[in-house]
Amino acid sequence: MIVKDNARLSVAVIGSGNIGTDLMIKLMRHGKNLRMGVMVGIDTASDGLARAAHLDVATTAGGIDGLVAMPEFKDVKIAFDATSAGAHRRHAEVLGKHGVTVIDLTPAAIGPFVVPVVNLEQHLHAPNINMVTCGGQATIPVVRAVSRVAPVHYGEIVASISSRSAGPGTRANIDEFTETTSRAIESVGGAAVGKAIIVLNPAEPPLMMRDTIYCLTDEHADRGDIEASVHAMVQDVAAYVPGYRLKQAIQFDRVAIPPQFAGRCPGEFGLKVSVFIEVEGAAHYLPSYAGNLDIMTSAAVRAAEQIAALRLAA
């Protein structure tokens, strides 16, 4: 069935790098409530702008000011920002004045943190939502899966990605990555204390994204409930990120409570839950090993689709 463009909301993608270009391809191939309106960049020689023009998508190399000046801008209802945390602050201000909803893929975190399977429904009317980080999108669902059936006194995640899939934006925002992800492990994942670590793996050939999630819970927490909750959450994420999967069986270890958590956990011992995730990208534009970028764009599209569906139904 061909979907008429007037039955879909027009969107702009700001940032013509790898993430922005992958977003464009996803929207053009699979957009249900969204249609690709404008590709925005600042480098006239970028592959993203060239591909967009080849696909008959309106383009500008004038950044946010160029977008606002375009006749197509009047139809734009949602904008994806795939630039940087610093640039996003101005983009959010400009787009907010025009009533454009912003899906932020940078670590700026101006709007609420959103992980689609966890808390999107709470923020469908927010003017700006933040997609946390690639590590956050891959791991916070698991932390939440544990915390909804048992208290998580401490949650730690280690996101390992191929150094080839870490572009200039990722490398420039490493500090923001760890800070943003750590905060979201607590506020979205439900952990009392969160910590995030990112590893850029230089291995050749490049390895797919691997994520390790550790949760400290009560010693006598129901292991069966935790396993069932994690497996259900993995299936929910895989509904929009098909390459998202458990890499091996969930592990449980009885551990002594570290001194810094004494008083927070009942008793002298706790239960450490270890979950190992692998994320393979869909290879729409990026290579399949770049699951870290694919999960970000997939989550952003899922969020925008649900926001658009709500508006179109109104």
Amino acid at 282: A
- Is the domain of 265 the same as that of 279? yes
- C-alpha pair distances (Å), 178 with each of 119, 173, 185, 195: 20, 9, 11, 8
Is the predicted pLDDT of residue 24 greater than 60, yes or no? yes
> What percent of the chain lies above the pLDDT cut of 70?
98
Is the predicted pLDDT of residue 97 greater than 70, yes or no? yes
Amino acid at 150: A
Neighbours of 65 (CB within 10 A): 11
Helix (H, G, I), strand (E, B) or coil at 174: helix
Q: pLDDT band for 2, please (50, 70, 90 cuts).
A: very low
Check residue 5 and give its pLDDT.
61
Check residue 4 and give its pLDDT.
46
What is the reported pTM?
0.94
Is the predicted pLDDT of residue 106 greater than 70, yes or no? yes
Q: What CATH number should be reported for the domain holding residue 278?
A: 3.30.360.10
- Is the domain of 27 the same as that of 93? yes
Task: Determine which helix (DSSP H) or strand (DSSP E) holds 92, and give its type and residue range.
Answer: helix 85-97
- Is the domain of 75 the same as that of 185? no
For residues 142-151, give the mean pLDDT: 98
Q: Which two tokens stand for residue 151?
A: 């208290």
How far is Cα of residue 109 from the mean position of the Cα atoms in its chain? 12
Which of the 8 DSSP states describes residue 39?
E
Total number of domains in the chain: 2
For residues 79-84, give the mean pLDDT: 95
Is the predicted pLDDT of residue 146 greater than 70, yes or no? yes
- Is the domain of 146 the same as that of 118? no
Please name which of 280, 282, 288 lies closest in space to residue 301, comparing C-alpha atoms.
282
Q: pLDDT band for 3, please (50, 70, 90 cuts).
A: very low
Maximal C-alpha separation, the chain: 65
- Is the domain of 146 the same as that of 98? no
φ/ψ of 88, rounded to 5, equals -65, -30
Q: Which two tokens stand for residue 268?
A: 């002298």
- Is the domain of 150 the same as that of 242? yes
For residues 50-67, give the mean pLDDT: 98
Average pLDDT of the residues of the chain: 95
In the chain, DSSP assigns E strands to 9-14, 34-40, 58-60, 76-81, 101-104, 128-130, 154-162, 194-201, 209-218, 244-246, 251-256, 269-279
Q: Which two tokens stand for residue 58?
A: 């309106």
- Is the domain of 179 the same as that of 226? yes
- Is the domain of 159 the same as that of 213? yes
Give the strand pairing for 194-201 and 128-130.
unpaired
Please name which of 184, 178, 105 lies closest in space to residue 147, comparing C-alpha atoms.
184
- Give the structural domain span for 306: 5-131+294-313
Gyration radius from the chain CA atoms: 20
- Is the domain of 167 the same as that of 283? yes
Residues with active-site annotation: 134
